[in-house]
Amino acid sequence: MPRSSNYLLPGYTYHLTQRCHDRQFLLRVARERDVYREWLRAGVERHHVPVYGFCITSNHVHVIAHADGVEAVAQLMHLASGATAKQYNLRKNRTGSMWEHPYQCTVIEGGQHLLNCLAYVNLNMVRAGKVSHPRDWKWCSHDELTGERQRYRILNFERLQQSLGGIGAADLRQWYSDALEARLAVRQMPREAHWTEALVVGSRSFVEQAMGVYAQRRQCDVQQVPFSEATGDVERWALRERSVPYNRIKG
């Protein structure tokens, strides 16, 4: 496993991923995805975690959140997954775990790296061949990022603006749309494993700085991410654990 949720650190933005137990498609019904989304929203309101993006698929979830405090992020994820599982088991007269634990976490540098991660996460079901555009999958953050969804929002748009360099709302939406269209213009959108399998993703200086923290706990290597036609606008580096088999979370 690439990371344990026990290694969350305050002050970083994280791409959090969690999949259903035994890779089962327990979220394949829209009602189940609705339940998770509502508990995620409740968790944001209750624990005041700045969430920047999310995508709820049929068998796993993505949440991009900033860790002002480690406990709040852990409580958010615990509430969303735990309450969803409880309701699911009651409806199905089922016992047992709904999720594989722990959820995985990758530090994402702000600015262009964060923007690319947001686009990648929202394109999850496009890559899976379920929809042709993120706007057609209502269980992701696309509609909030573009301003099409105004009620029952999950994202902290103001904090996201700060993490993207303090840009204005209109510029943020245009920046995001441009990044999305650049990816959609590439007919083949391969899975970019570093977003879920690395400890840290960002510029070389950012990754090396983070390595000073993580290397105290794990054996790590800094690696350059291969060039991507869709995101050739920025050089990316990743901090990976050494000699650990990676858990393949599709998406």
Domains observed in the chain? 5-241 (3.30.70.1290)
How much is the pLDDT for 234? 80
Which residues make Cβ contacts (< 8 Å) with residue 33, sequence separation at least 6? Answer: 27, 56, 58, 139
Q: Is the pLDDT of residue 245 over 70?
A: no
Asked whether the beta carbons of 121 and 53 are under 8 A apart, the reply is yes
pLDDT at residue 136 tops 60 = yes
Compute the distance between CA of residue 121 and CA of residue 15 in angstroms, rounded to an integer: 9
Euclidean distance between CA atoms 195 and 102, whole angstroms: 17
Residue 218 predicted with pLDDT over 80? no
Q: What is the mean pLDDT of residues 171-200?
A: 88
Q: How far apart are CA 179 and CA 88, in angstroms?
A: 36
Higher-scoring residue by pLDDT: 218, 34: 34
Comparing CA positions, the residue from 73, 80, 22 lying closest to residue 52 is 73
What per-residue confidence (pLDDT) applies to 230?
A: 63
Eight-state DSSP code of residue 219? -
pTM, two decimal places: 0.92
Is 90 exceeded by the pLDDT of residue 227? no
* More confident site: 240 or 62: 62
The owner of tokens 């209750």 is 46
Given 3-state DSSP classes, what are the helix, strand and coil percentages for the chain, each rounded to the nearest 5? 45, 15, 40
Q: What order of strands is seen across the sheet that includes strand 200-202?
A: 51-56, 60-66, 13-19, 104-108, 200-202, 237-241, 220-224
